[in-house]
Amino acid sequence: MNKQNIALNIEGLTKVYKNGVEAVKGVDLQVHEGDFFALLGPNGAGKSTTIGVISSLVNKTKGKVEVFGHDIDTDLEAAKANLGLVPQEFNFSQFETLSQILVNQAGYYGVPRAQAHKRADKYLAQLGLLEKKDKQARTLSGGMKRRLMIARALMHEPKLLILDEPTAGVDIELRRSMWEFLRQINEQGVTIILTTHYLEEAELLCKNIAIIDTGRIVENTTIKALLAKLDKETFVLDLKQPTKPVTLEGYNFTMTDEHTIEVEVAKSQGLNAVFSALTEQGNTVLSMRNKANRLEELFVGLLEQGRGE
């Protein structure tokens, strides 16, 4: 594949801090143009250090990093022009207005002021902040500040957007609206890399995933392929009342109340036999859902395997 079609190319990335801590240990990673990519790992795994190197905030010890074919060692300005970063911390002036923050950010990348004002209004409107454009940033709620950070990162219209825990501390309703916005810009061609502790975000939004632990990539695959590795899942079935006596031969199940059943299903079994048995017993299934986040289960299992636990 032409390197111009690779949004991010990392080869042998290593970072050793002055105190001897090796935060990143020979990471190899490729993210293709147009992808919505999840980078997951526990605290201290090396996610933030890796992002810091990509965005030139942290000096690497060795290795290669390219953003759309531009090496950060030899062509840093071009690499930065293609990259937008939404860090975890709020690092804008709390006493500037939203409009000032966005227009000034665009100015760092040479965007003409009139064009920057139009672009600022566009992103503020899309993120539900337009009516706040002349308010100081300190007046915003935490969730609004998160959205402002996303708008700011997009002001120079980068081709690659990296979001480091973008919905941390954001309520679920606002989180979902942010998910929808990110889906839209990804569909419009922006490549997105997401780190998150909300693993359901990765399952809902992302196409591909890498899991990093103790500075190494322990898994790098598609979300679909990763979920296919599950040996078993627990499903919660809501039954129409009144329920008839339930028997499910060959399955582990529990009645949590008079119309709810939790059933453990191995990958080799499937759910068809469960539905057939319940129907034969005169029970009607009204709804079904996974008991636990599936990616969460896999995540824990992969980390345990990688550490030899």
- Pull the structure tokens for residue 152: 């700011």
CA distance 212 to 92: 29
- Pull the structure tokens for residue 103: 């227009």
212 with 260, same domain?
Answer: no
Q: Is 122 helix (H, G, I), strand (E, B) or coil?
A: helix
Helix residue ranges, H only, the chain: 47-54, 76-81, 98-108, 113-126, 142-153, 172-187, 199-205, 223-227, 272-280, 294-306
Residue 168: closest CA among 180, 178, 160: 178
172 with 259, same domain?
Answer: no
Supply the range of the domain harboring residue 283: 232-306
DSSP 224-287: HHHHTT-SEEEEEEEEPSSPPP---TTSEEEEEETTEEEEEEETTT-SHHHHHHHHHTT--EEE
188 with 82, same domain?
Answer: yes
168 with 153, same domain?
Answer: yes
Among 190, 211, 227, residue at a domain's last position: 227
237 with 221, same domain?
Answer: no
- Pull the structure tokens for residue 125: 């409107």
What domain count does the chain have? 2
Strand-pairing partners, residue 253, are 263
Among 201, 227, 253, residue at a domain's last position: 227
243 with 221, same domain?
Answer: no
Strand-pairing partners, residue 266, are 232
75 with 31, same domain?
Answer: yes
201 with 302, same domain?
Answer: no
176 with 72, same domain?
Answer: yes
220 with 248, same domain?
Answer: no
pTM: 0.80
- Whole-number pLDDT of residue 293: 63
190 with 288, same domain?
Answer: no
Q: Is 27 helix (H, G, I), strand (E, B) or coil?
A: strand
Query: Could you give the angle at which helices 98-108 and 113-126 cross, rounded to 10 degrees?
Result: 130
How many residues would you count in the chain?
Answer: 309
| Residues with Cβ within 8 Å of residue 2, at least 6 apart in sequence | none
Strand-pairing partners, residue 73, are none
- Whole-number pLDDT of residue 307: 67
57 with 152, same domain?
Answer: yes
Handedness of CA 201, 205, 209, 215 (dihedral sign): negative
Among 189, 211, 227, residue at a domain's last position: 227
The CATH number given to whatever domain includes residue 256 is: 3.30.70.1560
CA distance 58 to 53: 5
The CATH number given to whatever domain includes residue 145 is: 3.40.50.300
Q: Per-10-residue mean pLDDT for the chain, 309 residues long?
A: 79 96 96 96 89 96 97 97 95 97 97 98 97 97 94 98 87 84 97 84 90 92 82 84 81 88 82 88 86 69 68
CB 233 within 8 A of CB 253: no
